[in-house]
Structure 1
Amino acid sequence: MLKSMYSGVSGMRGFQAKLDVIGNNIANVNTVGFKSSRVMFKDIMSQTVSGVSAPVEGGQGGVNAKQIGLGVSIGSIDNMHMQGSPMTTNNPTDLRIDGDGFFLVKLSEDQETPFLTRAGDFHVDTNGNLITSDGLHVVDTGGTPIQLDAEATAFTIGSDGTIMMTMSDGTIQAGAQIGVAKVTNPQGLEKIGGNLYRMTMNANAEGVITPTTANNTADGTGAIVSGQLEMSNVDLTSEFTEMIVSQRGFQANSRIITTSDEVLQEVVNLKR
């Protein structure tokens, strides 16, 4: 069987995976805090037809190896953690991190390791809990779910995540401080859906999350901006360009298979 046929199949598989990733990026162009992905290819092991020979002093020169590539495979699917553009909402519970860092959320107080997210479209439930749209609790710098004082009539959130509450008697009281976390290798985080990431051993050393404060120059965390949301960082111009390239690449590889089939047909006809 011709090697070109298998190379064409590997190319079609690779470009199909790339189209799948591009489709997901475009589908999430308006998803709050979404980070786009990209596919990187690598070549498969080559078949060596003849090896390398070294030059001989005063004699024959060196000869390069003759190798035939056997196709392509997916090298990596990277999450691109560039910051998305801000959208002003003027909603005090809509938060954006201007810089590095992730919000920390938990399903319950008993959850040991929190999830991470860049989507700051938070809400306050009837018990005063600061939660996500899916009901997960936003935690403070100590890893404890945040609950607003029942006597508070209004509140604001500062750039360091401190919640300042206006009480029923008109006094202003400092509440909990929203916790954030700096991740050494954000691309090592695992996407689990719902705008959430799970910590892994390749994201932070030993997979440990240490809550810290926002706007912290020592830890390198960004400031929290209240009344704004971070939108998706998907660039539609780039995605549509890559979609065209992937489509043509898929077509070219399918043509390789068709041409290889025609060559095999000729070989079969010659043997009749």
Structure 2
Amino acid sequence: MSFGALHVARTGLDAQGFRMQVIANNLANVNTTGFKRDRANFETLSYQMMTAPGAPATAENRYATGLNLGTGVSLAGTSRIDTQGSFATTGNALDMAIDGAGFFQVEMPDGRIGYTRAGNFNRAADGTIVTSDGKPLQPAIQVPEDATAISIGADGTVSASIPGQEGVTELGRIEIARFANPSGLQAIGDNMLVETQASGAPQVGGAGEEGRGTLRAGMLEGSNVNVVEELVDMIETQRAYEVNSKMIQATDEMMKNATQTL
């Protein structure tokens, strides 16, 4: 019985350790553009069925509740909380934020399409709109070297004034991808997510269409991490870890006492 309590308390230590890592990552990314906080989800481990409810207790009676002993807890997974982050005005023409559901599409070095909420884009040497580390926005949009007064509409239309041409010239349109289950996207770092079977296939289209968010030019979406909430969760996790540690100490003392007595 004591060995069982030690095992259960150990699973509690492991679970709270994982939760603390999730909280630490949230706090570390409090200023990361477009970052979405994660939440640790737990589940019970299998139960030891000592006596089944309804099993015969005597020839005439049956157990009303039975005897069922839990074996601990485990980390079931993490969920990304996709609530909207706050907007900050930057004044940079190529900074964009998605107001609502959806992701920017970016071509990664291996040819796959990555999805991100971070809209801090720049112009490459050839005028292509790229991320800060050079990944091109998809569909590709190239801004002429002599273009001025670049503007991006709420529907994703990119326009600019080009010397020698009357009015403004439309350079392309930014498309937004949305997913049936955005929480099923896999995070791979560099603010990038990739498609999985759980997320479903991307539904690509214009901003503001079919449930996709609209674009806010000259703005960036901040992290949705609430520092106060994370600190409260951190304290709660720390206390839960301490309780499981005390459970191990108490169980160890019980075993020592039993050994000395017997």
Partner of 2:204: 211
76-85 or 151-160, larger mean C-alpha shift: 151-160
How much has 1:73 moved relative to structure 2? 0.8
Partner of 2:51: 50
RMSD: 1.8
Q: Give the secondary structure class of the aligned counterpart of 1:147.
A: coil
Q: What does 1:144-155 align with in structure 2 at a 5 Å threshold? A: 145-155=140-150
Partner of 1:136: 135
Per-residue CA deviation, residues 212-250 of structure 1 (Å, 9 max, x unaligned), is 11111xx21011000110000001111001100100000
Per-residue CA deviation, residues 126-180 of structure 1 (Å, 9 max, x unaligned), is 211100011000112xxxx221133422310000110111111253111110111
Which runs of 5 or more structure 1 residues have no equivalent in the other structure?
none
Partner of 2:119: 120
Partner of 1:10: 11
15-24 or 259-268, larger mean C-alpha shift: 259-268
Percent of aligned positions with the same letter in both sequences?
33
1:41 equivalent to 2:38? Answer no
Q: Give the secondary structure class of the aligned counterpart of 2:242.
A: helix
Selected match of 2:180 from 181, 184, 187 = 184
Residues of 1 paired with 2:102 and 2:152: CA distance?
A: 17
| 1:61–1:266 distance in 2 versus 1, CA, 3 Å | closer
Count of matched residue pairs: 258
1:261 equivalent to 2:261? Answer no
Residues of 2 paired with 1:159 and 1:62: CA distance?
A: 66
Residues of 2 paired with 1:212 and 1:12: CA distance?
A: 46
1:81 equivalent to 2:82? Answer yes
How much has 1:80 moved relative to structure 2? 0.8
Residues of 2 paired with 1:222 and 1:201: CA distance?
A: 23
One-letter amino acid of the counterpart of residue 230, structure 2: E
Residues of 2 paired with 1:193 and 1:60: CA distance?
A: 60
1:166 equivalent to 2:125? Answer no
Partner of 2:22: 21
Selected match of 1:230 from 221, 228, 232 = 221
How much has 1:60 moved relative to structure 2? 4.3
> TM-score, structure 1 length as denominator?
0.90
> TM-score, structure 2 length as denominator?
0.93
Which portions of structure 1, spanning 4 or more consecutive aligned residues, are displaced by more than 6 angstroms? Answer: none
One-letter amino acid of the counterpart of residue 104, structure 1: Q
Per-residue CA deviation, residues 9-54 of structure 1 (Å, 9 max, x unaligned), is 0000000000000000000000000010011111111212211127
Q: What does 1:239-258 align with in structure 2 at a 5 Å threshold? A: 239-258=230-249
One-letter amino acid of the counterpart of residue 86, structure 1: F
13-22 or 164-173, larger mean C-alpha shift: 164-173
Residues of 1 paired with 2:108 and 2:44: CA distance?
A: 43
Residues of 2 paired with 1:193 and 1:117: CA distance?
A: 10
Q: In the alignment, is the contact (CA less than 8 A) between 1:107 and 1:135 conserved in 2?
A: no
Residues of 2 paired with 1:209 and 1:81: CA distance?
A: 16
Residues of 1 paired with 2:185 and 2:63: CA distance?
A: 48
How much has 1:61 moved relative to structure 2? 6.5
